[in-house]
Structure 1
């Protein structure tokens, strides 16, 4: 049984079960009564939830946002109400809330059953995020040459182009394979980052977290330990990773124990940085392998989809290719292939930020659970009691014309213009200078989240995406199978992905400059 079939059948089963116990929705009094409902209530709410799950998620959220753009509304999910938060003030207050009030882990556990897929240790102790925020980000400059080398190698290996022939590939599959190689150059280093079995395992684990996690997430907490083993292949992925990555970590641990934490020849990669931060039980081979797999999940899933969306945007707006290519060639000719050179690619930064704005991973983001005993209250008095699940209407915010002119249209260089206009009249050293950079999180730009749990790996992701796009623009020509038609995104409830079946054609560019 494939993953999609499992998801549909499991979802249908769960909804049928809960349709017979509609108490959560038919009570005459409910703590969330003050928050308006979008969609049906009562018994029909389950069938509305089922419809939402399959096809209607983005439309329902957009309808609610149009009605309540500065407040909150709620929709029916199979087992509970989900509160959707809108408006800059609410978004900021929501993002700034402490973990012991609005729980990131609790929100994720409800959406994707993280504990069942990645294990309780990873779900409860997220110290690896501090490693990403700290050591990984600080070492991006030092690691750039290796990342750039791996990008070149990865595209050669994945595309396998000969001469100037055209070759057709499934875009998302190809970009996922490239991203997996590049990420793992930084995570585990050579030669493992080029081991096909290890890479396939990393990709499968990332898929498993999303698909299996969502299936398990439809079931009540008490059923998840029984359902989990039936729908997830995590144990197989972990076993393979232990065989391949385990010996590497074992050797690192042994050297650290005998030669000290700064032993001669210590690789400058994520494994080393994890070992610097790991204590107690976390300094075991299995737990460290799980950390690497979990980090791979977060990086592979989001980066490959964002890059695929960017390529699809260029396919439907081919007039954007030459300005972006010209900028990359000019900057690299002046600066060489360096991380600092990326900072001067204003148009590319703007284009990728615009792609992020238009193509989110779903209509909502930043899932949280209210865990404070006395609930959570917004400054306008809106109250969410303990146990409430809530999130942000990210896609509707991104398409709100009060934040962005012609918000439904791809305006590739809108943020480049805004940056130029700002720097023409303000101090270049001021912090506001960064408000329209790709890595910036704001109440009107939420791909990275915002506040306490803003994405710790966004600086690496931005560096990786810009370098990959520059490489593709300079080294290849590419075109769609169907000119002028953007492949339709795949929508499943509250999840949106770039079309996994869509293909594009690549070929090597002729007469490349000698410095490339």
Structure 2
């Protein structure tokens, strides 16, 4: 700091950051859209700076004040426009990519191009692979999924006798989900390799940590600071070492025997190779896609299952009904993907847990890319470059949408199936109330054209894991009746990372 050149540099950067803040918040064209809390510039600065701590409360306050409209809250270096009513949420979900860009919204909120690389940010063929090949193969691959669930719980939980054992729920779940997901991604034996699995978890943690750091820099500075704060090279190198031999072997066999050679593994590597352009058919490119798929699968599924376990152990009246259902269905149908469809209570419990514990305060982030902006049906116009999203958490807690919406009711959706099935088309009733169903009033997986492409795999994995748990373990909370508090940072809502759940072997087995 004694170097005058350093002082000048820091002074210029400070000036540019303040100028970026002022430019972001001063736009007379937006005056008609209400601001939550404060309309004064100093208040906007404070709300933006304090968003990581107070973002959820700002969004709740905005929803309470403007339940049928659009409001804005201050983020560092930009406004975030939030829609409240399901009608307007549907308009976001239905808008074409050329008007409201899903991928542009991802880059605003989660800059993949800088965090991971331009190839995966600009070519999204892995999304098509997950939406098509992965989903189509869930029935065929389910025996592998179930086998890995059984083996992973046995290895990770490791119970002895009939004693209770306390386990940190989120790390335990991440270890299990990493194994189960990679059974479909890379197969045996790599899906059980501890170094490989820990590296996938570490990659997810590194990316999330880098992303939080990036939030503090204006957009024009992020390309400059990204190489300094993005810590991913080590985990990519470990993944390359583990996966390169597998990928090279697949490419060699395809070249020698053709793309449909006998004994070709039915996993994500093979499915990606089917969709990849020639320039993507190499180990470094494919490894990035596999790491990104692991990031999505491990991070979101682990949080969802951990939240469900916290809900179950603080509301143990749900355990025996789900156990009875799983015992009965498996006795009648065996452990199959189809059998999961008959577990209405388990499906309902997970959907209700996601409703109350979705991992984002606001979801469906989009960037307005049309030069003329985007006009909602209520006449509100957002200019090009705006960031817009839906008030997911408040919508889920709205009692005009769900009866007693602030109360956890694990069998809410199973009961609605039974109540309405006799008077309406049964298939339609089931479709609207099952875990994979999306809609403008249920945003755990988003809704519209860009609803989560991996939700069918996630739901299969979660239901099979919960069925396995209720059939094989007794459970209780670390503190009876006390649900561990969530960790909230900006838009992100995560389950408590250190909270424990107690397991013991099911005593009536």
TM-score bin (small chain): over 0.9
Match of 1:212 in 2: 210
Return the offset for 1:428: 3.1
Match of 1:42 in 2: 41
Q: Does 1:440 align with 2:433?
A: no
- Please report the TM-score for the alignment, with normalisation by the length of structure 2: 0.95
**2:156 counterpart (152, 158, 169):** 158
Q: Aligned with 2:80: secondary structure?
A: strand
Return the offset for 1:56: 1.3
- Please report the TM-score for the alignment, with normalisation by the length of structure 1: 0.93
- Shift in CA distance, 260/348, structure 1 to aligned 2, threshold 3 Å: same
| Structure 1: segments with no counterpart, 5+ residues | 1-13
- Shift in CA distance, 26/78, structure 1 to aligned 2, threshold 3 Å: closer
Return the offset for 1:420: 1.4
Separation in structure 1 between the aligned mates of residue 18 and residue 366 of structure 2, nearest angstrom:
25
Match of 1:134 in 2: 132
Return the offset for 1:103: 1.1
Q: Which runs of 4+ in 1 moved over 6 A?
A: 14-17
Return the offset for 1:329: 0.7
Match of 1:200 in 2: 198
Match of 1:10 in 2: none
C-alpha contact (below 8 Å) 1:111/1:214 kept by paired residues: no
Cα distance per residue 1:245-298 (max 9 Å; x no partner)? 111011111111221110110011111111111112111111101000001111
Q: Aligned with 2:256: secondary structure?
A: helix
Match of 1:347 in 2: 345
Separation in structure 1 between the aligned mates of residue 206 and residue 371 of structure 2, nearest angstrom:
34
Cα distance per residue 1:105-128 (max 9 Å; x no partner)? 211111122112221100111111
Match of 2:8 in 1: none
Q: Does 1:237 align with 2:235?
A: yes
C-alpha contact (below 8 Å) 1:342/1:466 kept by paired residues: yes
- After TM superposition, the structure 1 = structure 2 runs for residues 25-104 of structure 1, keeping only pairs within 5 Å, are 27=26, 29-40=27-38, 41-53=40-52, 55-104=53-102
- After TM superposition, the structure 1 = structure 2 runs for residues 105-504 of structure 1, keeping only pairs within 5 Å, are 105-429=103-427, 431-504=428-501
Return the offset for 1:88: 1.4
Q: Aligned with 2:176: secondary structure?
A: helix
Separation in structure 2 between the aligned mates of residue 24 and residue 153 of structure 1, nearest angstrom:
56
C-alpha contact (below 8 Å) 2:112/2:121 kept by paired residues: yes
Return the offset for 1:511: 4.3
Separation in structure 1 between the aligned mates of residue 304 and residue 430 of structure 2, nearest angstrom:
24
Separation in structure 2 between the aligned mates of residue 310 and residue 144 of structure 1, nearest angstrom:
22
Return the offset for 1:43: 2.6
Provide the alpha-carbon RMSD of the alignment.
Answer: 1.6
Return the offset for 1:20: 6.2
- Shift in CA distance, 356/457, structure 1 to aligned 2, threshold 3 Å: same
Larger deviation, residues 229-238 vs 144-153: 229-238
Separation in structure 1 between the aligned mates of residue 366 and residue 381 of structure 2, nearest angstrom:
14
Cα distance per residue 1:338-364 (max 9 Å; x no partner)? 111111111111110000000011210
Cα distance per residue 1:155-185 (max 9 Å; x no partner)? 1111122222322111100001100100000
C-alpha contact (below 8 Å) 1:109/1:217 kept by paired residues: no
Q: Aligned with 1:483: secondary structure?
A: coil
Separation in structure 1 between the aligned mates of residue 385 and residue 279 of structure 2, nearest angstrom:
31
Aligned pair count reads: 496
Separation in structure 2 between the aligned mates of residue 16 and residue 485 of structure 1, nearest angstrom:
48
Q: Aligned with 2:73: secondary structure?
A: strand
